[in-house]
Each structure stands twice: as C-alpha cells, then as structure tokens.
Structure 1
Amino acid sequence: MSKNDDDLDAHGIELIQALASEAADPTIMIVDTKDLTPGLPAGVPVAFDRKSQAFKSVKGLIEEFRQAPDRRKGTATVETLASFIDLVKRHQDADSALFGKTVWPDPKLTAVLDYDREGVAARNRSHRIVYAFPLTEEFKAWVNGNAKPMEQDLFAAFLEEHAAELAAPSDGERSTYEPLFKEKFATPSELIALSRHLEVFVSARVKQGIRLQTGERTIEFSEEHKDSKGEVVTIPGIFMVSLPAFVDGDAVRIPVRLRYRIVSGDVKWFYQLYRWEFFLREQVGHDLKQAAAETGLPAFEGAPEA
C-alpha cells in the first residue's frame, strides 16, 4: 500500500469519527417564541439530544452561572408600621399594591411590590413586604388576664403593675359607656387607691356587696376575730385603659368592666375588656389607610393571591 493510500485511510477514519461525534453531541437551538404567548422571551434556547431524539431545556445549566438574580423576589418581614412604610417606598413602582387583613387573631399588612393590573402583562407577584402587627408585652398581659378570676392579692398587684396603662375617660367616653353599662367610670387614681385598699384587706372576709344608686358597688370587709362593723370599700364598675397594642404603634383606648364574685366570704376579682378585638381591627384599618396615604398606593382589605 502506498503512502497516499495510508493518508486517505487516516483521513477517512478521522471523518467517520467526526461524523459520529457530531451525531452524538447535543445541538443548541433557539426556538422562536415571539408570537406564541405573552410573558415569554423572543427566543428560548433548547438542546436537541440526537441519541434520544428529544429536546431538553438548558435553563438549569445556564442558571448555575448566573451572577445576579433575574428578578426581585422574596418576602421581607418588618416589626413596625414605620419600617413597613419606609421599605415599601424604597421598592414600590406604579403597579405595587397594599393588602390588609384586619381580622383578629392574625392581622397583617402585605405589600406586593410586583403586582399587576388590567391591560398590562401579568407579573410574578413574588416580591413582598409583610407587617404582622406584633403585640406589645403590656397588651398581651391585659388580653391573657381577660375574664380570668384572680385572688385579691394578685388582682391588687396586677392593678399596681399596670398603673401606667390606666387612663381617665373623656367626656365622650363617659356619655357613651356609663349609660350603656349603668356603671360609674373610675379615674386612674381611684383604681390605684382601690388596689391599695384591697392589699390591706387581703386576709379579711367579705360580708356583703351592695349596688348604689350612683352605679357603683360597695363591699364590706371584716376581720374574723373582730365584731366591728368593718370597712366599706367602693368598687367602680368600669375604667379605661390606653396603651399601644402593637410595637411602636399608637395607643388603643379600651373600656374595661370591673367584676367580682363573693363565695363563702372570699372574693374573686376579674375584668372584661369590652370588644377589644373591634378596637384592634379599627387600629389595623387606620394603619392600612396611613400606609396607603404615605406611599400613594391602592389599598385593599383582604389578602393577595398566593
């Protein structure tokens, strides 16, 4: 065999190897999607696998080399209304929207920064900010003790500890709630005086309770080893608390009914927060309106699409 024949054989082998390799290697193709449906890029890269005769996506392989996100997504959680408003201002655009779930027990404000609207291509709705109205420790204490009977010493200590949250009723509150409950409002100083009276009579027995024409009640304490008439203590029927329900939020004013029960000479005390869920819903609604006013975004009561 001549040298030329050897060269032709080698070239043929190389050509066969190249054709075989080309037949096995996948081919990257660009599929034109320009007129298929809204929301797609003009062209989509796919790999054609000659062995399996199937098209495969190359998105996963390409995403491994991404140096920056393709879009904003994720949910930021803030602890105060002020932070919610400031962060929304930082990221919002013309189509962002606010949603407010105002119903207890889990009120929430949600800003969907990449929201969409009629006449514009739909967006991902996956870039969000959430404010879940964390309760203050003081408000938790009032809610946790609501309508729960307490021993006299514990009740007196509770009033002392939460003296800063007691408030004087306004004229409007007096005219609304005193006729409603047929009870007299107590001032903070009267409640503190009551708590100190109760501390004195912790070991005493209760003889009787009487309702006065003024709407107040009285109970008479007497020491068991004495025959004296005892001490009469006036008990107000309602009082007002004013405290922030949410961290760094505005104060919420709630009327509170003061109650006691006498059983075999012992007295149990409890209080009832009047419609406190309503006052919280009112505060959440107010905060939603404030966020809408300060950001200039539309606000809706409810929750956005999942």
Structure 2
Amino acid sequence: MTTRYTSGPAADLDGIQSVIDIAQQAAEPTTLETGKVYAVRTAGGGTQTLNLTGPEYTGIPARKQGNTTVRDAESFAAYFEKHADTDTEVYADADRLTVTAVLDAHTATAARWSGHRLTLGLRKTESWEQWLQLDNQLMPQEAFAEFLEDHLPELLEPSAAEMLEIAQSIQGAAKVEWQNSTRLSSGQRQFQFVETVQAKAGQKGQLTIPEQFTIGLIPFEGSEGYKLNARFRYRITKDGGLTLGYKLERPGDVIRKAFGDVVTAIGEQIEQPIMNGTPA
C-alpha cells in the first residue's frame, strides 16, 4: 500500500475554506419568538439574557389593572361577574356612597397586586338635587308657584292636579296685601289677604294650602323611588308680601336607605360578602 501526502498551496486553501464555512454558520441569524427567554453569546465570549416575555414584545399586558367606575347596581354586577374570583373583596362606604370591589385582592396564602378595581359611584338625580337645593328656603310667591308647576310629576299627596290649582291660586294672588294666617282643624293653613283695585275699597280673599305634602323622588340614577314628606313654610313680610317654601323631613335618612337598598341588590347578585368600609 502506498500512502500519499498532500502538501503545498492546495492543502492550505482547503483548510481556509473550512474555517470560513464554520464562521458563516456561527454568524447566521436566528429568528427569535416572542414570549420566550434566550441566552445569547456576546462578542467577548460572555452570555447575555434576552427576555421577550414583556408586554412590549407580546402585545399582552402582564396583568389586569385599572379602576372602572359604573353608575348603577346592574352595571356593577355585569362587570363583577366577568372579572371577579373567589378571593375578590367588596367594600361599601355609606359616607362616600360608593361600593368598591378589589378584583385581584390578596389570597389567604399569597399576595396579589390589588390593582384591578371596580367602583360603583352613585350619581344623584337632577330632581333630587333641585328639591334639596331649595329645602328650607323661602321664596317669592311666583317663584314658588313656578317651582311646583315644574315638579308636578313628583307631587303625590295632595295630587298633582290639586297642587297645580294651589300654585295657580298663589300666582293669582300675587299682587295683594297679606294680613294673617290661620291653621284650620283639618291641618291646612288659610291665609287672609286684601286686594285693592284702583284705590277702591279692598276686596278680601282667602288662600288655603295644606300644612304638608308628599313627594316621590329617585335619589340616585338607576335606583328606586322613595317618598318624602315636606312641610309648607311661609312668612308674611312687613310690607304685606308673602314668601313660601318647604322643609323636607329627614332627607338624609332617605339617602342612607336608598344606598342600603343598592348594596342589598348587589349582594343578592354576588357570592362574596360585602364589608363595611374602604379597601387599602
């Protein structure tokens, strides 16, 4: 057997080509996938971690977060059902008139972010605000009569028709001299007045209004309606004029009752207990 050895320029070229092939394979780019972690070798021979699991790579947030505000119990229950779990905590704050659910609250054995929340922020109705704004305020006859006319749908007892008649009677007796008032056995208040026309002898008249009346108001948007009693207030001024108004009986109790009913309605639709207070 004869052994042949190759040497010279041809052998050197073969070795150089092999080195080039290996270098090209090592430098060939590799497609990376999002949602994974890679360890890559640096030019200096070290190793660098490349984390592609963040939301800037995947397009998906790392966790749920944010505070969603709704305005009624039904909306609260709908959002709650979608995102809550067995460790979700719910708090009712009667002072702030809010119900807050910490949807990702801590579990019994592990901490969670507590950054995904749902808040029921009750909003008072316009009619409630208007009645409260003028509560215990005396106003001129015509202004008071116009207020009653604008709120006839909310007048329950006496009926809206009777209250409209009273309002019109008040307007009709706007330019008279009021003398006194008498409380009748029925509880109504009777006002005596004198109307003077073109310097002639005065004509006497009477205006009778109930001592109190009942209104029906919806305190919060999306809530039930509640009855409130109101007492007529009046004052005969020194110049013979008449100012009228009303005093609502314990409107704060109605607000608390309405809020409690909202909390009860929510509690009937969820399994988690509702605690009294506010979350941390």
* 1:291 partnered with 2:275: no
One-letter identity of the residue aligned with 1:92: A
* 1:252 partnered with 2:226: yes
One-letter identity of the residue aligned with 2:196: E
CA distance in 2, matches of 1:289, 1:120: 30
Structure 2 equivalent of residue 282 of structure 1:
257
Structure 1 equivalent of residue 235 of structure 2:
261
CA distance in 2, matches of 1:26, 1:162: 78
One-letter identity of the residue aligned with 2:211: G
TM-score, with length taken from structure 1: 0.71
- Conserved? CA contact 1:218–1:233, under 8 Å: yes
- Conserved? CA contact 2:55–2:61, under 8 Å: no
- Conserved? CA contact 2:54–2:62, under 8 Å: no
CA distance in 1, matches of 2:105, 2:264: 19
* 1:113 partnered with 2:103: yes
* Rg larger for: 2
Instruction: Identify the match of residue 170 of structure 2 among 170, 175, 198.
Output: 198
Structure 1 equivalent of residue 246 of structure 2:
271
**Distance 1:281-1:26 versus aligned 2 partners, 3 A rule:** farther
- Conserved? CA contact 2:67–2:116, under 8 Å: yes
CA RMSD across the alignment: 2.9
- Conserved? CA contact 1:102–1:284, under 8 Å: yes
Structure 2 equivalent of residue 16 of structure 1:
none
**Distance 1:276-1:26 versus aligned 2 partners, 3 A rule:** farther
CA distance in 2, matches of 1:253, 1:156: 21
Q: Which runs of 5+ in 1 are unaligned?
A: 1-19, 29-44, 46-57, 169-185
Q: CA deviation at 1:26?
A: 7.8
> Identity of aligned pairs, percent?
26
* 1:136 partnered with 2:125: yes
One-letter identity of the residue aligned with 2:82: R
Instruction: Identify the match of residue 151 of structure 1 among 111, 115, 140.
Output: 140
Q: Which runs of 5+ in 2 are unaligned?
A: 1-41
Number of equivalent positions? 244
Q: CA deviation at 1:21?
A: 5.9
CA distance in 2, matches of 1:109, 1:290: 12
CA distance in 1, matches of 2:277, 2:161: 42
- Conserved? CA contact 1:98–1:292, under 8 Å: no
Bigger Cα displacement from structure 2, 153-162 vs 207-216:
207-216
* Partner SS for 2:268: helix
- Conserved? CA contact 1:100–1:285, under 8 Å: no
